[in-house]
Amino acid sequence: MRWLKGIFGELIGLFIEDGSFAVAIVVWLGLVWFVLPRVSLPPVLQGPVLFAGLLAILLESVLRAARRR
Amino acid sequence: MTSWTHIGPTVVAAFLASLVEFVEALTVVLAVGVVRGWRGALVGSGAATLTLLAIIALLGPLLTRIPLDTIQLAVGVLLLLFGMRWLRKAILRASGIIAMHDEASIFAEQEAALRQMEGSRGGLDTVAVIAAFKITMLEGIEVVFIVIALGAGGKGLLIPASLGALAALLVVVAVGAAVHRPLSRVPENTLKFVVGVLLSAFGTFWVGEGLGLTWPGEDWSIPGLIAGFLVVALIAVPIARAIRARRTGLMARDAA
């Protein structure tokens, strides 16, 4: 059974390694989902806003890891 | 109709991502084969491959029953988490913040561990079967996820994604059978860097589609997303390296 647990753990580990990084991505997606339709933003900017937030999360997480280790 | 802006990157992403996973699996299967015998190693890997094929056969038809935008959103979120995790790790490795993945040392560690384990060496060695089954399942599940995730992003993408993964399997098996050594010369971090960029770009596009957002240029925004992730990742590497060097310098000065 231990190897089954290992496989399950590995499955979760596919998506989550640094908890705060994964949470930041999910929270940003939630914000885009709920807030963006209520903001008067030109439709052509909707996708780029989602993208810009993800780039910022990636950069922040890498720089935080560089300062910490 | 699915365009080449989808099919091309799908095949490349499936091939490169699967190549990384198969190389990792090969290292352990080779160690099992060398130490415990090839029969157990091949039985274990074969059983895991059949289990993975059964998972694909089960999940594939189920996915076609779910509306495309729902699939794109669910798979896009998972692909984003998966791809951005790979990309973050590849950036941290490239900037020297975490150690590189070393197939040769993993092979040596596995070899030493397998030699110490008890178990029958005549007949079918259960240690060999379990070790080979486990690693093939672990790495194979990642390949299955990648193929299904990439394949679920649009109509007709499952076959290109499967062909990309199959090509990677054939390459790794052929090279592994020829050299009988772990493929430590494969530039694993570069591959993870590229795959992380591709999967993150696809994940972003599909999440946007699933949420009903507008992309400028529609499908043609995918190359733009790929370029954007690549540029930011390439910029992040020297910045992270500089932060690390400054920290190391400060710590050395404090210690002196």
pLDDT at B1 over 60: no
Provide the mean pLDDT of chain B. 84
This model's pTM is above 0.95:
no
Distance CA B132, CA B245 (A): 41
Amino acid B20: pLDDT: 87
Going from N- to C-terminal start, the domains of chain A cover 19-68
**Chain B hits for A55, Cβ within 8 Å:** 228-229, 232
For residue B142, the enclosing domain spans 4-255
pLDDT at B53 over 60: yes
Amino acid B184: pLDDT: 67
pLDDT at B45 over 60: yes
Amino acid B120: pLDDT: 58
What are the CA-CA distances from residue B55 to residues A57, B11, B137, B145, B156 (Å)? 33, 21, 11, 10, 19
| Chain B residue with the nearest C-alpha to that of A43 | B214
Preferred mutation among A2, A15, A61, A63 to probe B, highest tally of B CBs within 10 A = A15
- Nearest CB among A17, A36, A66 relative to B240 is that of A66
The number of domains in chain B is 1
Amino acid B124: pLDDT: 77
Percent above pLDDT 70 for chain B = 93
The distance of B213 to chain A (nearest Cα, Å) reads 6
Confidence of residue B152 (pLDDT cuts 50, 70, 90): confident
Amino acid B146: pLDDT: 86
pLDDT at B115 over 80: no
Confidence of residue B88 (pLDDT cuts 50, 70, 90): very high
- Ranking A4-8, B11-15, B104-108 by mean pLDDT, the lowest is A4-8
Amino acid B56: pLDDT: 78
Amino acid B227: pLDDT: 96
> Are B50 and B140 in contact, with CB atoms under 8 Å apart?
no
Q: Per-residue pLDDT tens for B198-221?
A: 999 999 998 998 888 889 988 889
What are the CA-CA distances from residue B146 to residues B16, B48, B187 (Å)? 11, 17, 20
pLDDT at B107 over 80: no
- Nearest CB among B85, B213, B228 relative to A17 is that of B85
ipTM for this model: 0.89
Specify the amino acid at residue B167: A
Amino acid B119: pLDDT: 62
What are the CA-CA distances from residue A12 to residues A18, B60, B78, B141, B193 (Å)? 12, 21, 11, 11, 21
> Are B193 and A62 in contact, with CB atoms under 8 Å apart?
no
**Higher-confidence position of B150 and A32:** A32
Q: Per-residue pLDDT tens for B159-195?
A: 888 899 999 999 988 888 887 776 666 777 888 899 8
Closest to A65 in 3D by CA, of B164, B242, B92, B59: B92
3-state helix, strand, coil in chain B (%, to 5): 80, 0, 20
Confidence of residue B121 (pLDDT cuts 50, 70, 90): low
- Nearest CB among A25, A47, A63 relative to B208 is that of A47
Residues of chain A with pLDDT under 50: none
Q: Summarize the confidence of residues B66-94 as an average pLDDT.
A: 88
